[in-house]
Structure 1
Amino acid sequence: MIFDTITLQCFIAVAETGSFTRAAERVGRTQSAISQQMTKLAALLGKPLFVKGRQFGLTPEGEIFLGYARQIFALHREALDRFTTPELEGEVRFGLPENFASVYLSEVLADFSRIHPRILLNIECDLTLNLFDRFKKKKFDLVLVKMNRPEDFPNGLDVWSEPLKWVGDPILINRKKPVPLVLSPAPCVYRASAIKALEKAGRPWRLVFSSPSYAGTVAAVKAGMGISVMPHTMIPPELQAVDASLLPKLADTHVSLLKHRADNPAINTLEEFVLKRLKH
């Protein structure tokens, strides 16, 4: 029995996103390709991996296999990175939004530290506008920020763009009442986008919960306190995007990776590592 890493990557993406569509977006493949990979994997194992029906989920066998898949894929990535990248040392000050650290990069940064033990990572999470301001003052070597002008910096890279979505229980939306909002405190790019869209459309709003924490925001929306704003790929399976007709359209979010220097091997290696993982 042989597992190829592409199939394992697709299975992990489906399990973590709870959707074949989102998994396809994460790994850069079509939804039909993902479906074919999962059918082949189930046939190879001789066990059903997903629950059939309206409620998506993993079978008990799927949950067990997910643990093995993560270990196999992580070891594969670690081996490749360890033997294709020379031993490096130094210190890198890396800043990123808390929601990106929670959703995308926690395992990535742990993998990097294990592969490059002589590179000291100093990581801080903050709101994008705070990160950007501190980056301009050279408090960070590398930052991942939600913005749209990486060209302002000679070493800036536009990582990806995706639509922002209103998220929450649509029953909370009543045209005769202010929209209850769950947002991060100012300065926050998502907060500014939400308020700007509502005010442009003449829709009243009120802030019912404010937290800089992604986990806190998800908990508040899940509890039915209000409506929030999230990038499409960051909406957790337990929450739902609001129908586009109920609230005004939001601007796309643009994610950029910025650095001051292009001649530091440790910084360049972390940049390449993060870019590779985010795009896969």
Structure 2
Amino acid sequence: MLFDALTLECFIAVADTASFTSAAGKVARTQSAVSQQISKLESLVGKPLFLRGRHLSLTSEGEILLTYAKKIVQLNRDAMDRFKHPELQGEVRFGLPEDFASVFLSDVLTEYASLHPRIMLNVECDLTLNLFARFKKKEFDLVLVKMNKPEDFPNGMEVWSEALEWVGNSNITRFEDDDPVQLVLSPQPCVYRARAIHSLEKLNKKWRIVFSSHSYAGTIAAVKAGMGITVLPRNMVPDELKIIRANKYLPKLDDTHISLLKHNSTNYAVNSFEEFVVERLKP
């Protein structure tokens, strides 16, 4: 009995996501190709590996195989990294906003670290303006920053643009003319905070900060609790919250732009990490 790397990577992806569709995206294959790989693996071991009910879950045999599969795939990656990229070692200092780390990049960072175990990733989260200030002091090799417009950081590589939305919990129904808008926002200096306040003041609409936190998780918790509304990129709005469409109380918000800044470098590790992040984040 021999296991091939692709089959095991498909198996791990399905186990991790509990979805053939999501797994297909992780391994860059079609859903049908992933399904075929799982069928092939089940035929090879002679046992079902998933319970295919309303929710996809591992059988007891699948759980046992998953432990071995992760070890085999990791060993395969270590060996490939050693011979294919012997130069990729050293340190990469990377800064990014905390909400991006929570929503987008945790899987990306984990994947890169597993592919290149000899590279030390030093990752720090902070507000965009703080990241940029520290980047100019060369405390980071790369930073991911939020922008009002691409020309804010002319030397950056724009990764994507995203619509900003007002976001609240399901109990928010309407706003009163004389009542200030209750806001849940990050402390200064924050791009989203500045955008929200500026847009309200253009309408001469009163506002009040009722909760302020650097933490994405803290912001979401406060909005869920009904303390107020916040501003988020559309693809960062969790399922349990709702987008509040622009109206006479809440103006339409301009798009936000995400850019990657890097100092000129001949460091193979830094350049490799830049390419990896851009490839994973590009829409």
TM-score by length of 2: 0.72
Give the match for residue 188 of structure 2.
Answer: 186
Give the match for residue 207 of structure 1.
Answer: 209
Distance 1:12 1:167 in 2: 29
Give the match for residue 149 of structure 1.
Answer: 151
> Would the alpha carbon gap of residues 13 and 168 (structure 1) be closer, same or farther in structure 2, given more than 3 Å must change?
farther
8 Å CA contact 1:93, 1:142 repeated in 2: yes
8 Å CA contact 1:170, 1:242 repeated in 2: no
Aligned length: 255
Distance 1:117 1:171 in 2: 47
Deviations 1:122-144 (A, max 9, x none): 11100011101111121111000
Deviations 1:230-275 (A, max 9, x none): 0011111111111233521111110000001142211001111111
Distance 2:280 2:85 in 1: 15
> Would the alpha carbon gap of residues 60 and 111 (structure 1) be closer, same or farther in structure 2, given more than 3 Å must change?
closer
Give the match's secondary structure for 1:202. coil
For structure 1, list consecutive stretches of 5 or more residues without a partner in the other structure.
28-33, 52-58
Give the match's secondary structure for 2:244. coil
Give the match for residue 94 of structure 2.
Answer: 94
Within 5 A, what are the aligned runs for 1:115-154? 115-147=115-147, 148-149=150-151, 152-153=154-155
**Match status 1:196 vs 2:198:** yes
Give the match's secondary structure for 1:143. strand
> Would the alpha carbon gap of residues 125 and 174 (structure 1) be closer, same or farther in structure 2, given more than 3 Å must change?
same
Identity across aligned pairs (percent)? 52
> Would the alpha carbon gap of residues 9 and 116 (structure 1) be closer, same or farther in structure 2, given more than 3 Å must change?
closer
Offset at residue 152 of structure 1 (A): 2.5
Offset at residue 279 of structure 1 (A): 2.6
Give the match for residue 113 of structure 1.
Answer: 113
Deviations 1:21-40 (A, max 9, x none): xx8xx99xxxxxx9x97xx8
> Would the alpha carbon gap of residues 11 and 206 (structure 1) be closer, same or farther in structure 2, given more than 3 Å must change?
farther
Moved more, 230-239 or 161-170: 161-170
* 2:157 partner amino acid: L
Give the match for residue 250 of structure 1.
Answer: 253
Distance 1:14 1:275 in 2: 26
Give the match's secondary structure for 1:249. coil
Give the match for residue 55 of structure 1.
Answer: none
> Would the alpha carbon gap of residues 190 and 10 (structure 1) be closer, same or farther in structure 2, given more than 3 Å must change?
farther
Within 5 A, what are the aligned runs for 1:27-42? none
Distance 1:124 1:274 in 2: 15
TM-score by length of 1: 0.73
Give the match's secondary structure for 2:204. coil
250, 264, 270: which is aligned to 2:267? Answer: 264
**Match status 1:223 vs 2:225:** yes
Distance 2:51 2:122 in 1: 44
Offset at residue 9 of structure 1 (A): 7.9
